[in-house]
Amino acid sequence: MLLAIDAGNTQTVVGLYELDDAGSAAGRRPEDGLLDHWRIASLADRTSDEMAVLLQGFLAFRGHALDDIDGVVISSGVPRITATLRDLADGYLDFDPVVIEPGVRTGIAIQYENPKEVGADRIANAVGAYDLYGGPTIIADFGTATTCDAVSENGEYLGGAIAPGIEISMDALVGRAAALRAVELREPRHVLGKSTVESIQSGAVYGFAAQVDGLCDRIQEELGDCTIVSTGGLADLITPLSRRIQHVEPWLTLHGLRLVYEKNA
């Protein structure tokens, strides 16, 4: 079995995949072979022993243990968490993890001024999206940051746009405006809010849907028509309100990680 781990700045997503000896994951759906998945807070001061206890507990729900894991693949935007996961593999597993970083085969060319600057999750998304939809494709990822990245018809990562994420923006709004309070992120009854809570929800939910639609329009002015895919923790909330997003893939990053693992294992 394979553990695919996407460590973001706010949350870490762990996917447990069944490794298929009969063939490659290429062309399969992201959920194919996904036995289970878990989401935990990204705590940089969590030790490798604490992480091992967490993973062991999750695996026990499926009747497995860390000893049953045959491979680990990691994308991480938090260097301390990357180090923790390496220490975990060193202490509890008998193999090194595959980490998306310079020198690792991804099968995708990075057309960035400095390829080392591209986040590992953005690379994994590009790998997964190109496998599923070809190119040109735009990937909108609703995470700590909201990103819109593009893959060419030849499978090249072309770059993208990074904006503050929805939850970060909401925290900043509440923190800076004394008369406003935190609200549940959900679709309001009306675009024209009839209360402060509903007005904040409208601005956040419809506003970010419009932001991504606008970015996709501008990207398509440069690239032509693209397939547009969404992923990330808030994709299910925003995607139905978008006028441009065509597909939602909750496990796109994990799928890309699984493909990168196969190229390097």
Bridge partners (DSSP) of residue 150 are: 138, 159
DSSP calls for 60-114: HHTT--GGG--EEEEEES-HHHHHHHHHHHHHH-SSPPEE-STT---SSEE-SSS
CA angle 110, 72, 82 (to 5 degrees): 65
What's the pLDDT score for residue 5?
97
Q: Under 8 Å CB-to-CB from 26, ≥6 apart: which residues?
A: 131, 259, 262
Kind and range of the H or E run holding 38: strand 34-41
User: CATH topology for 109-254?
Assistant: Nucleotidyltransferase; domain 5 (3.30.420)
| SS3 assignment, position 171 | helix
Active-site amino acid positions: 121
Give me the mean pLDDT over the 156-179 stretch.
85
What's the pLDDT score for residue 182?
74
What is the spatial distance between Cα 142 and Cα 139, in angstroms, rounded to a whole number? 10
Give me the mean pLDDT over the 71-78 stretch.
95
- Measured in whole angstroms, how far is the alpha carbon of residue 35 from the centre of its chain? 18
Q: Provide the token pair at 199.
A: 């007005």
What is the spatial distance between Cα 160 and Cα 148, in angstroms, rounded to a whole number? 5
Bridge partners (DSSP) of residue 137 are: 151, 227
What is the spatial distance between Cα 128 and Cα 26, in angstroms, rounded to a whole number? 9
CB-CB contact of 42 with 8 (8 Å) = yes
Q: Cα Rg for the chain, rounded, in angstroms?
A: 19
What's the pLDDT score for residue 179?
63
- What are the boundaries of each domain within the chain? 2-103, 109-254
What pTM was computed for the model? Answer: 0.92
pLDDT tens for residues 8-45? 998 999 999 998 755 677 778 999 999 999 999 999 99
Q: Which CATH class is domain 2-103?
A: alpha beta
CB-CB contact of 104 with 264 (8 Å) = yes
What is the spatial distance between Cα 20 and Cα 208, in angstroms, rounded to a whole number? 38
Query: For residue 193, is pLDDT > 90?
Result: no
Query: For residue 126, is pLDDT > 90?
Result: yes
List helix spans (H) across 151-245.
166-176, 196-223, 235-238
Q: Provide the token pair at 179.
A: 């008369």
Query: For residue 156, is pLDDT > 70?
Result: yes
Q: Provide the token pair at 151.
A: 């893959």
